[in-house]
């Protein structure tokens, strides 16, 4: 992991043209708890995993409200995330005071990226070790941005950051084409399923995840635990109800396929052997 004399200073380039201190900050984002974002034409949903340091401590807050139309979810160093969210909140207040209108989401993201870039070019500073998913709604529609510690920013239809986020990304990549026309409830459902994928076997409960929503006619707010738990229970009930009829249909089909005549069973086995001899597999469909 260490690169000898090339990783002692953020302003020192390696012979390969890399800034290792910036890469270490990006690695800190991968070590943080997962954060997920999805957007449609009218709504943006943020979800994050609440991870406590021990069973005796509470989890740290991972989703912050910036303004009525903007919120962020973070992965990485929570302290850095609090500082950046406070900066974003200040920029929104100043813009609203000066122009008497909400700050466009894209302009705020650029200002945040410029602030992160300065820390990659000053020897007495260090890069912010946090990645931010910025969700917002302005005159041009719903937006979801990812701000990187390197100063880069990208707009996404859906994205996941943090530890064990690859499973959530795989789910989002399979479903993202449907997100544009999705309703608010469908977005929340997909966000919860993606969060469950990132847990990798751990049961999804309202105590281990946080959901926030912003949309047309709906200011940014975090859903309470009771509402989230009701949504989780509803989705799991639907899943069980879908699995039950499938089992009931499989049992009569198995009874019908079972041979009643031993001679017929022997003939079936002979036919299967013939199929194998001819180079085909009896399992081919």
Half-sphere exposure of 189 (CA within 13 A, CB side): 15
Rounded Cα distance, 271 and 277, in Å: 10
Top CATH class, 39-239: alpha beta
Cβ atoms of 163 and 30 within 8 Å: the answer is yes
CA-based nearest residue to 32, from 47, 55, 20, 48: 48
Confirm if 155 and 164 have CB atoms less than 8 A apart: no
Question: How many Cα atoms are found within 13 Å in the side-chain-facing hemisphere of 59?
Answer: 15
**pLDDT tens series, the chain, 285 aa:** 555 788 888 999 999 999 999 999 999 999 999 999 999 999 999 999 998 777 777 888 999 999 999 999 999 999 999 999 999 999 999 999 999 999 999 999 999 999 999 999 998 999 999 999 999 999 999 999 999 999 999 999 999 999 999 999 999 999 999 999 999 999 999 999 999 999 987 889 988 999 999 999 999 999 999 999 999 998 774 555 555 555 555 565 555 555 555 444 444 444 444 443 444 433 333
Contact between 132 and 74 (Cβ < 8 Å): yes
The DSSP line for 14-62 is PTTS--HHHHHHHHHHHHSPPEEEEE-SSEEEEEEE---SSTTSPPPP-
β pairing state of 209-215 and 153-155: unpaired
């Amino acid at each position: 992991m260490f690169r000898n004399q090339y990783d002692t200073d953020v302003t020192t380039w390696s012979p390969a043209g890399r800034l290792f201190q910036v890469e270490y900050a990006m690695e800190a984002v991968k070590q943080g708890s997962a954060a997920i974002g999805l957007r449609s034409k009218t709504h943006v949903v943020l979800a994050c995993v609440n991870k406590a340091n021990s069973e005796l401590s509470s989890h740290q807050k991972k989703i912050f409200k910036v303004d009525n139309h903007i919120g962020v979810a973070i992965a990485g160093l929570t302290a850095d995330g609090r500082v950046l969210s406070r900066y974003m909140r200040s920029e929104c207040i100043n813009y609203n005071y000066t122009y008497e209108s909400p700050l466009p989401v894209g302009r705020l993201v650029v200002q945040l990226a410029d602030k992160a870039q300065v820390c990659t070019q000053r020897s007495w500073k260090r890069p912010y070790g946090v990645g931010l998913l910025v969700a917002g709604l302005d005159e041009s529609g719903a937006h979801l941005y990812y701000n990187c510690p390197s100063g880069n920013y990208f707009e996404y239809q859906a994205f996941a950051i943090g530890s064990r986020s690859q499973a959530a990304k795989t789910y989002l990549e399979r479903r993202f084409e449907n997100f544009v026309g999705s309703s608010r409830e469908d977005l929340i459902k997909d966000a919860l399923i993606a969060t469950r994928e990132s847990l990798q076997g751990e049961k999804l409960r309202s105590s281990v995840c946080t959901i926030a929503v912003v949309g047309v006619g709906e200011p940014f707010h975090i859903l309470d635990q009771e509402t989230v738990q009701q949504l989780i229970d509803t989705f799991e009930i639907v899943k069980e109800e879908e699995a039950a009829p499938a089992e009931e249909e499989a049992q009569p089909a198995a009874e019908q396929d079972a041979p009643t005549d031993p001679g017929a069973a022997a003939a079936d086995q002979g036919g299967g052997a013939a199929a194998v001899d001819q180079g085909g597999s009896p399992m081919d469909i």
